[in-house]
């Protein structure tokens, strides 16, 4: 009996010992942390700074919109709780830097407002285009200025082999159709007829893409060099600035010969000729009497940009009842051109324009039955048919610049020549695959 009591007593001591150890272990464990709402607010992540237009957007309530029909600078600010006396004061102070009447429908704007219940505007930012923005800042003192978003240019290369047309060839590779336009209309317009390309013609090109804020792709900026093989004949083209003061850039071949002609074929892109130069034209409306047409009509939608067909100086930018709004340009002692029926003119008398510059937009002003530009061409003071003239080539490169040009293009040509054609890349990949199969076998 005594032995049995001792066993039970030992079991009791063992249980007490286990409970004591467990108690001590629990005592050593840290107590669960209870975080109050105030402490939680302190440990919340601070949002990263987001900068745009030179401002930290986290400091404001940001409101974005576009200019609607009927919107003015005053209407927009008044709609956002800013009083008219303040608006008038801002407009007066800013008018020397930016004309608030120039706001265009459809263009984006941003309001930076106070971070409180009132959300009063502190800054107005207007974007007339993708690159530029106008800031009217009235947080403390009032000041206005125009600035640009950061631009980045990325150099790229492309090659292709024509199977049908150049646009399809570029599209198959996911490349911009702008490359096709630049090669066809800006570089090789006078040396290669892109409507008659042959299957097997091939090309390679060095070009730059343009990005705004590192992320917004705005398309092909320029072509630095190109090689086009048409009917087994090679055509090189290199971009080169011949006049840094006027900003004249042309394309020359490897012998420094200008690839362009002095005049573009048409003053508008993607248009059709609706009426040709015809001194014996008869019109039913006028009883089939002879009504000479001394211009060439290019039909195009209203608002289509009208380009100067050659470098020159604007001699007239005016309006008459017959011509409507029109522009006239003198190119040299021999040639002048005129552009009629514009909706709006974009140049002033005395202004120098380069080939391809937009001088106005297609409209229906003056005597016209539909939207088009009437293109008139003068040679030695007499109106002539531009399509029947043997037009001169563009101005050749000067002897003093020729040496500089040849030195300039030497490394570019080496780089261009070293770019493999697409067919060569495919052959190499195929050969590598065959070698890999043979090795596995």
Per-residue pLDDT reduced to its tens digit, 168-219? 888 888 888 888 888 887 888 878 878 788 899 999 999 999 999 888 888 8
- Neighbour-count burial of 274, counting CB atoms closer than 10 A to its CB (0-12 exposed, 13-18 middle, 19+ buried): middle
pLDDT at 87: 94
Checking if the pLDDT of 3 tops 50, the result is no
How far is the C-alpha of 51 from the C-alpha of 34, rounded, in Å?
37
Domain count, the chain: 3
Task: Say if residue 382 is in the same domain as residue 283.
Answer: yes
H or E element: which one contains 136?
A: strand 132-137
Q: CATH number of the domain that 354 lies in?
A: 2.70.70.10
How far is the C-alpha of 49 from the C-alpha of 42, rounded, in Å?
18
Domain end residue (candidates: 85, 118, 148): 148
Q: CATH number of the domain that 155 lies in?
A: 3.10.450.350
Checking if the pLDDT of 30 tops 90, the result is no
pLDDT at 48: 85
Task: Say if residue 222 is in the same domain as residue 208.
Answer: yes
The pLDDT > 90 percentage for the chain reads 53
Task: Say if residue 240 is in the same domain as residue 171.
Answer: yes
Terminus-to-terminus CA distance in the chain, angstroms?
88
Task: Say if residue 205 is in the same domain as residue 287.
Answer: no
Query: Residue 408 in 3-state DSSP?
Result: helix
**Residue 37 falls within a domain, yes or no?**
no
**Paired strand residues for 142:** none
**Tens digit of pLDDT for each residue in 82-96?**
999 999 999 999 988
Task: Say if residue 246 is in the same domain as residue 281.
Answer: no
Quickly state the pLDDT bin for 290 (edges 50, 70, 90). Answer: low
Domain end residue (candidates: 102, 117, 148): 148
Task: Please give the C-alpha separations between residue 329 and each of 262, 275, 348, 376, in angstroms, as whole numbers.
Answer: 14, 22, 11, 10
**Residue 244 falls within a domain, yes or no?**
yes
Checking if the pLDDT of 18 tops 60, the result is no
How far is the C-alpha of 56 from the C-alpha of 409, rounded, in Å?
44
Task: Say if residue 288 is in the same domain as residue 354.
Answer: yes
Identify the domain containing residue 233 by its residue range.
151-252
**Tens digit of pLDDT for each residue in 87-145?**
999 999 998 899 898 899 999 999 999 999 999 999 999 999 989 999 999 998 999 99
Written as one string, the DSSP assignment of 293-327 is B-SEEEE--TT-EEE-SSSEEEEEEEEETTTEEEE
Task: Say if residue 142 is in the same domain as residue 158.
Answer: no
Identify the CA nearest to 278 among candidates 388, 392, 391: 388
Q: Between β-strands 358-362 and 51-52, what pairing exists: parallel, antiparallel or unpaired?
A: unpaired
Average of pLDDT values for 428-432? 54
Tell me the average pLDDT of the chain.
85
**Residue 286 falls within a domain, yes or no?**
yes
Cα 435–chain centre separation: 45
Identify the CA nearest to 264 among candidates 184, 176, 325, 195: 184
Task: Say if residue 135 is in the same domain as residue 219.
Answer: no
What is the chain's length?
441
**Tens digit of pLDDT for each residue in 33-46?**
555 665 555 555 66
Task: Say if residue 68 is in the same domain as residue 142.
Answer: yes
**Residue 176 falls within a domain, yes or no?**
yes
**Residue 129 falls within a domain, yes or no?**
yes
**Residue 178 falls within a domain, yes or no?**
yes
Task: Say if residue 305 is in the same domain as residue 360.
Answer: yes
**Residue 266 falls within a domain, yes or no?**
no
Task: Say if residue 160 is in the same domain as residue 248.
Answer: yes
Task: Say if residue 340 is in the same domain as residue 294.
Answer: yes
Checking if the pLDDT of 2 tops 70, the result is no
**Residue 218 falls within a domain, yes or no?**
yes
């Amino acid at each position: 009996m005594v032995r049995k009591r001792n066993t039970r007593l030992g079991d009791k001591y063992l249980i007490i010992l286990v409970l004591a150890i467990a108690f001590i272990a629990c005592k050593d464990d840290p107590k669960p942390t209870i975080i109050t709402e105030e402490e939680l607010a302190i440990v919340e992540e601070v949002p990263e700074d987001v900068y745009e237009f030179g401002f930290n957007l986290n400091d404001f309530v940001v409101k974005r919109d576009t200019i609607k029909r009927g919107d003015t600078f005053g209407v927009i600010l008044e709609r956002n709780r800013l009083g008219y006396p303040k608006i008038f004061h801002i407009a007066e102070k800013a008018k020397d830097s930016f004309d608030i009447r120039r706001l265009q429908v459809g263009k984006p704007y941003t309001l930076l407002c106070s971070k409180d219940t009132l959300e009063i505007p502190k800054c107005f930012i207007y974007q007339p285009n993708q690159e530029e923005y106008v800031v009217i800042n009235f947080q403390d003192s009032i000041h206005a200025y125009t600035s640009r978003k950061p631009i980045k240019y990325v150099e790229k290369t492309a090659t292709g082999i024509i199977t049908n047309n150049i646009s399809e060839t570029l599209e198959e590779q996911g490349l911009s159709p702008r490359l096709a336009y630049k090669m066809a209309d800006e570089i090789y317009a006078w040396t290669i007829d892109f409507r008659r390309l042959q299957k097997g013609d091939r090309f390679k090109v060095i070009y730059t893409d343009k990005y705004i804020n590192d992320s917004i792709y705005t398309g092909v900026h320029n072509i630095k060099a190109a090689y086009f093989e048409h009917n087994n004949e090679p055509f090189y083209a290199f971009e080169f600035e011949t006049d840094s003061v006027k900003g004249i850039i042309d394309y020359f071949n490897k012998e420094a010969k200008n690839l362009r002609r002095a005049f573009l074929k048409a003053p508008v892109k993607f248009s059709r000729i609706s009426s040709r130069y015809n001194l014996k034209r008869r019109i039913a409306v006028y009883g089939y009497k002879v009504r000479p047409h001394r211009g060439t009509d290019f039909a195009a939608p209203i608002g289509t940009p009208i380009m100067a067909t050659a470098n020159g100086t604007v001699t007239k930018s005016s309006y008459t009842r017959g011509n409507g709004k029109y522009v006239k340009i003198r190119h040299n002692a021999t040639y002048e051109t005129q552009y009629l029926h514009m909706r709006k003119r974009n140049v002033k008398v005395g202004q120098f324009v380069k080939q391809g510059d937009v001088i106005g937009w297609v409209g229906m002003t003056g005597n016209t039955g539909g939207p088009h530009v009437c293109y008139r061409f003068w040679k030695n003071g007499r109106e002539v048919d531009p399509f029947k003239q043997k037009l001169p080539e563009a101005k050749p490169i000067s002897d003093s610049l020729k040496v500089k040009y040849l030195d300039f293009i030497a490394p570019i040509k080496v780089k261009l020549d070293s770019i493999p054609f697409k067919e060569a890349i495919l052959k190499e990949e195929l050969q590598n695959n065959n070698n890999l199969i043979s090795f596995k076998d």
